[in-house]
Amino acid sequence: MAPDMLVSLLWKAFLQTMYMVAAAGFIGSLIGLPIGIFLATSGKGELFPAPTVNKIVGATVNAARSTPFIILVVAIIPFTRLIAGTSIGTAAAIVPLTIATIPFVARLIETSIREVDKGLIEAARAMGATPFQIVTKVLLAEARPGIILGLTLTLVSLVGYSAMVGAVGGGGLGDLGIRYGYQRFMPEVMLAVVVVLIVVVQAIQSAGDMLARHFDKRTRKN
Amino acid sequence: MNRVAPPQTPVAVPMVTFENVIKRFGGTGKQPEFTALDGVNMVAPRGAITGIIGRSGAGKSTLIRLVNGLEKTTSGRVVVDGVDVGDLPETGLRDLRRQVGMIFQHFNLLSSRTAFDNVSLPLEIAGMDRKTIRNRVAPLLDLVGLGDKSDRYPAELSGGQKQRIGIARALATEPKLLLSDEATSALDPETTQSILELLKTINRDLGLTVLLITHEMEVVKTIASQVAVIDKGKIVENGSTFDVFTAPKHETTRSLLSAVIGAKLPEWISADLKQAPAEGARALVRLVFFGDTAFQPLTARLVAEIGPDVNILAGAIDEIAGEPYGSLVVSYPADPDTLRRADDFYRQTGLYTEVLGYGA
For chain A, which domains are there? Answer: 3-212 (1.10.3720.10)
Residues from chain B that touch A141, judged by Cβ atoms under 8 A, are 110, 112-113
Residue B28 clears pLDDT 80, i.e. is over it: no
**Shortest CA distance to B165 belongs to which of B118, B102, B133, B104?**
B118
Q: Which of A88-102, A177-191, B248-262, B318-332 has the lowest mean pLDDT?
A: B248-262
Residue A57 clears pLDDT 80, i.e. is over it: yes
Secondary structure of residue B355 in the 3-state scheme: strand
Q: What percent of chain A has a predicted confidence (pLDDT) above 70? A: 99
pLDDT of residue B264: 64
pLDDT of residue A120: 97
pLDDT of residue B57: 83
Residues A48 and B265: their CA atoms lie apart, in Å, by 55
Q: Do domains B16-99+175-258 and B272-359 have the same CATH topology?
A: no
Top-confidence residue, B358 or A157: A157
Contact B112 A137 (CB under 8 A): no
Nearest-CB residue to B94 (from A130, A141, A218): A130
Residue A196 clears pLDDT 80, i.e. is over it: yes
pLDDT of residue B242: 86
- Please name the helix (run of DSSP H) or strand (run of DSSP E) that holds residue B68, with its range, or none: none
Q: What percent of chain B has a predicted confidence (pLDDT) above 70? A: 94
Name, in order, each residue with C-beta under 8 angstroms of A99's C-beta and a sequence gap of 6 or more: A28, A64, A72, A76
Residues B319 and B341: their CA atoms lie apart, in Å, by 30
Domain boundaries defined on chain B: 16-99+175-258, 272-359
DSSP-H helix ranges across B187-284 = 189-206, 217-223, 241-246, 251-258, 267-270
pLDDT of residue B24: 93
Chain B nearest-CA distance from A215, in A, is: 7
Environment class of B293 (CB within 10 Å of its CB; exposed 0-12, middle 13-18, buried 19+): middle
Residue range A190-196: average pLDDT?
A: 93
Identify the architecture of domain B16-99+175-258 in CATH: 3-Layer(aba) Sandwich (3.40)
Contact A128 B104 (CB under 8 A): no
The CA radius of gyration of chain A, in Å to the nearest whole number, is 20
Nearest-CB residue to A137 (from B104, B121, B179): B121
Residue B1 banded pLDDT, cuts 50, 70, 90:
very low
Contacts 24+ apart (CB under 8 A), B91-95: B93/A128, B93/B68, B93/B69, B94/A128, B94/A129, B94/A130, B95/A128
Residue B294 clears pLDDT 90, i.e. is over it: no
CA B147 vs. chain centroid, Å, equals 29
pLDDT of residue B139: 96
Tens digits of per-residue pLDDT, B315-353?
877 777 777 878 888 888 888 888 888 888 888 887 778
Residue B356 clears pLDDT 80, i.e. is over it: yes
Chain A nearest-CA distance from B163, in A, is: 13
Secondary structure of residue B36 in the 3-state scheme: strand
Q: What is the ipTM metric for this complex?
A: 0.89
Residues B221 and B259: their CA atoms lie apart, in Å, by 12
Q: Tell whether A118 lies on the interface with B, counting CB pairs under 8 A.
A: no
Residues A29 and A148: their CA atoms lie apart, in Å, by 11
Parallel, antiparallel, or unpaired: how do β-strands B282-290 and B352-359 relate?
antiparallel
Tens digits of per-residue pLDDT, B152-197?
999 999 999 999 999 999 999 999 999 999 999 999 999 999 999 9
Q: Tell whether A122 lies on the interface with B, counting CB pairs under 8 A.
A: yes
- Chain B residues whose C-beta is within 8 A of a chain A C-beta are 68, 70, 93-98, 100, 102, 104, 106, 108, 110-113, 121-122, 124-126, 153-156, 169, 173, 179
pLDDT of residue B238: 92
Top-confidence residue, B196 or A178: B196
Tens digits of per-residue pLDDT, B227-240?
999 999 999 999 99
* B314 residue type, one letter: A
Q: Contact, B221 vs B51, CB < 8 A? A: no
pLDDT of residue B32: 84
* Residue in chain B lying closest to A129 (CA): B125
Q: What are phi and psi of B53, to 5 degrees?
A: -120, 145
Report the DSSP beta bridge partners of residue B79.
B17, B84
* Eight-class DSSP state of A167: G
Nearest-CB residue to B125 (from A129, A142, A144): A129
Residues B235 and B22: their CA atoms lie apart, in Å, by 12
pLDDT of residue A75: 92
Residue range A39-44: average pLDDT?
A: 95
Contact B68 A124 (CB under 8 A): no
Top-confidence residue, B303 or B198: B198
Q: Tell whether A133 lies on the interface with B, counting CB pairs under 8 A.
A: yes
The per-residue pLDDT of chain A, averaged, comes to: 94
Nearest-CB residue to A120 (from B94, B110, B126): B110
List the B49-53 sheet strands across, edge first.
Answer: B100-104, B177-181, B209-214, B49-53, B226-231, B234-240
Parallel, antiparallel, or unpaired: how do β-strands B177-181 and B100-104 relate?
parallel
Residues from chain B that touch A128, judged by Cβ atoms under 8 A, are 93-98, 122, 125-126, 173
Best A120, A127, A216 member to test B by mutation, with max B CBs in 10 Å, is: A127
Residues from chain B that touch A131, judged by Cβ atoms under 8 A, are none
Q: Which of residues 152-191 of A touch B (CB under 8 A)?
A: none
Backbone angle region of B246, left / alpha / beta, with phi > 0 → left and psi within -120 to 50 → alpha: alpha
Residue B262 banded pLDDT, cuts 50, 70, 90:
low
- Please name the helix (run of DSSP H) or strand (run of DSSP E) that holds residue B42, with its range, or none: strand B34-44
CA B256 vs. chain centroid, Å, equals 12
Q: What are phi and psi of B177, to 5 degrees?
A: -145, 135
Q: What percent of chain B has a predicted confidence (pLDDT) above 90? A: 58
Cβ neighbour number for residue B111 with a 10 Å cutoff: 18
Residue B2 clears pLDDT 70, i.e. is over it: no
Residues from chain B that touch A44, judged by Cβ atoms under 8 A, are none
pLDDT of residue B225: 93
Q: Which of A16-30, B9-23, B292-306, B325-339 has the lowest mean pLDDT?
A: B292-306
Identify the architecture of domain B272-359 in CATH: 2-Layer Sandwich (3.30)
Residue B8 clears pLDDT 60, i.e. is over it: no
* A136 residue type, one letter: T
Residues from chain B that touch A48, judged by Cβ atoms under 8 A, are none
Q: Contact, B24 vs B35, CB < 8 A? A: yes
Residues from chain B that touch A133, judged by Cβ atoms under 8 A, are 125
Residues A217 and A143: their CA atoms lie apart, in Å, by 11
Q: What are phi and psi of B247, to 5 degrees?
A: -130, 65
Residue range A193-202: average pLDDT?
A: 95
Contact A119 B106 (CB under 8 A): yes
Residue range B277-290: average pLDDT?
A: 82
Q: Contact, B90 vs B33, CB < 8 A? A: no
What is the DSSP annotation of A20-35? HHHHHHHHHHHHHHHH
Q: Tell whether A115 lies on the interface with B, counting CB pairs under 8 A.
A: no
Q: Contact, B72 vs B86, CB < 8 A? A: yes
Residues B45 and B12: their CA atoms lie apart, in Å, by 8
Chain A nearest-CA distance from B95, in A, is: 7
Q: Which of A12-21, A49-58, A166-175, B150-159 has the lowest mean pLDDT?
A: A166-175
Tens digits of per-residue pLDDT, B73-124?
999 999 999 999 999 999 999 999 999 999 999 999 999 999 999 999 999 9
Residue range A167-194: average pLDDT?
A: 89
Residues from chain B that touch A120, judged by Cβ atoms under 8 A, are 108, 110
End-to-end, the C-alpha distance of chain A in Å comes to 51
